[in-house]
Every structure is written in C-alpha cells, then in structure tokens.
Amino acid sequence: MSPRTPLRQQLGRTKGADDSMAIPNAETEVQESPAALSKEKLLAAYRTMLMGRRIDEKHLILLKQGKSFFHIGGSGHEAAQTAAASALKPGFDYSFPYYRDLSFCLELGFTPKDYFLSALHRADDPGTGGRQMPGHFGRTDLRIITQSSPTGTQYLQAVGVAMGSKKEGKGEVVYVSSGEGSTSEGEFFEAINWAAREALPVIFFIQDNKFAISVPVAQQTAGGSVYEVTKGFKGLERYNVDGTDFQETYRAVTEAVDRARTGGGPTLIVANVVRLLPHSSSDDHRKYRTKEDLELDKARDPIPKMAAWLEEEGYLSKEDASAMADDVRAQVDAAVEEAESHGLPDPATVTMHVYGKAHVNPKREMDEVEHKGKKVVMVDAINHALHEEMERNDRMLVFGEDVADGKGGVFTATKGLSTKFGPERAFNSPLAEASIIGVAVGLGLKGWKPVPEIQFGDYIWPGFMQIRDELAMMRYRSNGTWPAPMVIRVPVGGFIHGGHYHSQCIEGFMAHIPGIRLAFPSTAADAKGLLKSAIRGDDPVIFMEHKGIYRQGYASSPEPDSDYVLPFGLASVRREGTDISVITYGAMVQKSLEAARKMKEKGVSVEVVDLRTINPLDQDTVFESVRKTSKVLIVHEDTLTAGFGGELAALISEHCFESLDGPVLRVGALDTPVPYSPPLENAMLPGEKKILEALDRLAGY
C-alpha cells in the first residue's frame, strides 16, 4: 500500500459529533493525512519496531538468567504503537501508555537503556526508580505519565489531563491506551462519556489483540468489538483499523490528533493487532490457544509485513534490513550491559516519596489563635474557605454532584462558587464517583488544584480504586516525579437519621492507605484553617466533614480571617485534666467534653485531646497527655472493630506502657450498619452514656 494512497477504512469509521451528520458506511474513505510519510520517517518507524521486538526477546533471556523477575511484551503491537507515537509531539502532548506500549514509548524518545534500567530494577530507572515492575512507563520530560497495573484506571486520569489542557488552550493532545479487555471496565465508558460531552482533546487508543489474558473478546464485549459498543456516544469519532499496518494506523491517529488539537473533541481508535507472546512471563498461551490460532497471528506479524512493503516501495533492501537488525541487536545488548553497571536502589530510600513536604514536621510551638470574626457554623466556614482559596489560586477547581448554583451542594458548602468564579472553575460532574476522583487525579497531574466533593462518604466506594491504587501511589510509584495533589471533601458520619447509606464514617479504611493525608475537624475555625492548609499543600487529602455538626452551635466558632492556615499534625487539648485522657476527633469531641464535665462532678479530672488530623497524627500530644494522666480512653464514631482507635491503642501501649495505670479502653460504634430509626441509631452509635460508662470504669483503677 502506498503512503500516498488514501486510507480506506475497510473495518469502518463513523463520525458522531453531530446527529445531523451522515454516518459513513464501512466503505467510506478517509482523506489523506496532511502529515506526509517520508522515506526517512518510515525507516525510522521500522527501526523502532525492530527495537521493540528485540527488547522483548532480550528481556526474556534476562528472565531465564534470573536477572529480571517479570516480563510483559508488546510483540505484535509494534506497528500500531509506533504509528500512534509518530503522530504526537514528544514533550508537548501527554500520554498514558499501558504496559505493552514499549514501541510507543521508544518512538517518543524512551531509550533501550531506560527500559533495561527498569527491567533490571535499578535505582536510575527513570520511570519508577525500581519501585514498579517492568512495563510501567513514565518520564516527565516526555510527558509520559506514570502508569500502574490496574487496568482501566488511566482513562479517567487522561480525561482530567485533557480537561486541564483544554482550559489552558495550548493545543496539547492526550493519548491513552489499553488492550480491549480493559474496556470492559466501567471507568472506560465513564471516561468516554465525559470526554465526548465536553469535546476534550483525548485519543482512546485500544490495541485489540482479541485476548484479555485467556478470555477471548467474544466473551468480553457485545458485538465482539468496543468499536461497535461505543457508536452511541455523540461527539466521539471512531476508527477501526488494521493495527498491523503502520500506514493505515498512522493516518487514523494523525487525523485524530488534528481533530483534537483544533478543538474537535475525542477519538476512539481500535487498532486490531496480534499478540505473538503469552500475556506475560507468568502465562502459557498454549493452554487456551490452538496451534492454528497462533499460526494465524504469526502470519499477520507487523514487522515482516512492514519490511516487505518497504522493500516493495524501494525504501529498504534485504541487505539494509539485515544490517539494521544487526545494529538494533548490538544497541540492545549494549543497553543491557550499561544498565547492569548501574547500582540497585539504596534500602534507606524505601520510605522516600510517599508524601510531599507541606505537612511534615509542623511547628510544635504554634499558639492557638484567638479569632476575632463573627461566629460562624462549620458549613459556612468551609464555604468561606473555598471562596477565599479560589480567589487566591486561579488554578483551583471545585466540582462534584450538585455543587453548582442554584443548589450549591446538598449541604450548601459550595454555594455561590459557580456564580462568582464561573462554570469553568466550579461545575457539576456526572453522578459517578470514580469519574470525579479519576478526573481530579488527572487535573492534579496537569498542575491544577482540584477540590472535588463526594456527596456522602457512603458513596465514595466506586472511586476507591482511584484513591487506593492511583492517587495514593502517584508520587511513590513515579519516584517523586508525578505527584497529584488534590483535596477530596466528603461529608461523613451519623446522628442525622440517615440510615445505612448516609451515615458512614470512612477514616478507618482511609487511614490504612500510605500516601493520603486525613483531616477530621470538630469546629468551624479548625475546618476553615485545615481546609486552607490542605488546599495549599502538596499532598492528596481526604477532608472529612461531619455533617451532623455542620450547623451545630457547639461546633461554631468566631471566624478566622482569610490568612489563617492551621497546619496538619497538631492536635488540640480541648480540656485540661489530670486523671484520664480522652483521645478523640470529629463529632465525638463534643460528646467527650460533655462526659468530661459530668465526670468533674464526680471528682474525676478528664483531659480531652482533639486529634484534628489523623494523618499526620500528632503522637507527641497524645503521648504527653497519656503520660500525664496514666489512663486513656479512645473515642471514635466508626465501628469498633478495626477502627482507627485500634491503631491509637497499639501506639499508646507501645510508647506509654510504663506510664499506664489501667487498660487502654475504646468506645466506638457497634459492628453493625447504621440504622434509620432513632432508638436503633442511638443504640448503635457511641454517645455520652457509653463514654461515661468507660470513664467510670477507668476511674476505678
């Protein structure tokens, strides 16, 4: 096929940008791409394909030698990947390659040495510093964003980067790829929906090799192709190409890039490729593929196909092809030798890059400020903090379900933001929590400051994969090169007769995740100061707001001024005492204070410590209080089993054992869902009565 021949989409192409636009049939021709395929470009692409194949072969040898521990190959995908990268601008456009995208990364500028530094788990691995398995590409100078193993999480992040790119108006394009199996994930369709709805400059490049490990595409996808499944998305252009044909794929990607760069919106390209190796070095595809099937794939191998075409066009002789293959082999061997000369990671660096620097080592001598503003309830203090910080930082974005005016959030925490700052900076999202968090991750990677709202803590779980495996991991897995700071605001807690699904506390789950900071204020002033600190910081933060005290008078405070920022990691002693320490946070602070006042009537002096933040945890204030009183009660609203109180109890037992004159006691919710009926809710949740009973028990020691 000549590079000057118009590409005929024998597998089909549709336009979905406008209902009035005719949908071409499978014989529609695609106009010749404006980017010419010169002889030099074609030969360079062929060399990249050879390089990708030889790296696969060499890595498998290293695996047998015990020098590497895992391999996942791209053999059979080289033409599609190289074509896609050839259409992009390295270092300008952004890419989210998936684990097979070796040839894509090579074409962008990744080197064989880069690859083998990763394969041989060396400290100088540019993508992860030895923190991730091979195939997890990343390089900041090439704008290859750090990748992970979970399939499908990258789509929404790509949409977030594309959203940021569109807002900046520089013409950047975002590439995101996967195999066809990953398109079974719901997040794929959420990403397509958001990108199509907002005409975002993102290219979804699906490398369809017909197998998700061992599961054939017919058992994955209705109609046997995601190309058919996505035809209903208005605003999405689609291509279905032969991914073993470099020229055909290149033209499709070039048209998609041109469309995205000029504001036309997203494109889905399904590149039909072959998988010439097992899924990974842990797989044996002979268990589920017939010999005939494997031979059919070998017959479509893109490398001899490209070589034959180059020879037919007079661009490459057999002698030149052989010389190029020898040169590639020598370059790969040299890259392995050089990579092996680099050192392994220093074990002392294992804890580096979990967090940023903003919330580390707060000044312990900080005095509590006496605020002079008018008294304000917590939800209004939060609202004012958002207004002030959006005024201060024009790259801050607030979005979520119902956050725009006139609703202004179901609790009015975001009221007035979209009116004051416009729908470009404060806007409603789809009702999809994974979308909210995944898009926010992408915006954070792009350098924006997303402050999304999850409407209720009970509904954060569809986004948990994005939190646990993506947001929390970004800085660490990229060796500190791709942080994604953001603040997830989320109302939590019971005492509002909200039943099972409007009452949950989530801090026990979230405290188990390295890489996420956690705030849980109990007063309006603290909420405002901590929220400002979270927004100005450089870490991902889950900012938990107890909706039961949003408008309680006891949680109200004189309002801090716009410059007040409360550092994370500083607990507050809400009540001084000498006999028993109560360690608590959130809505339990007020209930503990009420119990402490009643214990005073019995002659027992109770100290109440409000943690304010769970990560970082102010261990010093906790330990000082316990060593002073020698008795401690931990109170939290979450269920008792595996609640954060268990961690506090373990720390106190370890560090304060010799000071203790009684057992470390805990009060928490019963291990049941939160019921709706008030008598049941009150029986399940911890209250003043349960706290008093525990304090009486401790007082007896």
CB contact at 8 A, 191 and 268: no
Residues 6+ apart with CB under 8 A from 580: 599, 604, 605, 606, 607, 629, 631, 632, 633, 695, 698, 699
Residue type, 197: R
Reference 435, options 205, 162, 153, 144; nearest CA is 153
CB contact at 8 A, 303 and 237: no
Cα–Cα dist 351/551, whole Å: 41
Cα–Cα dist 272/302, whole Å: 11
Cα–Cα dist 393/382, whole Å: 16
Reference 202, options 446, 448, 472; nearest CA is 446
Lookup: tokens for 144: 């290859």
Reference 584, options 503, 464, 686; nearest CA is 686
Cα–Cα dist 589/611, whole Å: 9
502 carries an active-site annotation: yes
The length of the chain is 701
DSSP, collapsed to helix, strand or coil, labels residue 213 as coil
The residue annotated as part of the active site, out of 502, 546, 636, 655, is 502
The sign of the CA dihedral 202, 207, 212, 217 is positive
Lookup: tokens for 27: 């014989």
Q: How far is CA 298 from the centre of its chain?
A: 37
DSSP, collapsed to helix, strand or coil, labels residue 674 as coil
Lookup: tokens for 367: 């005095």
Q: 């479509």: which residue's tokens?
A: 300
Cα–Cα dist 37/35, whole Å: 7
Residues catalogued as catalytic: 502
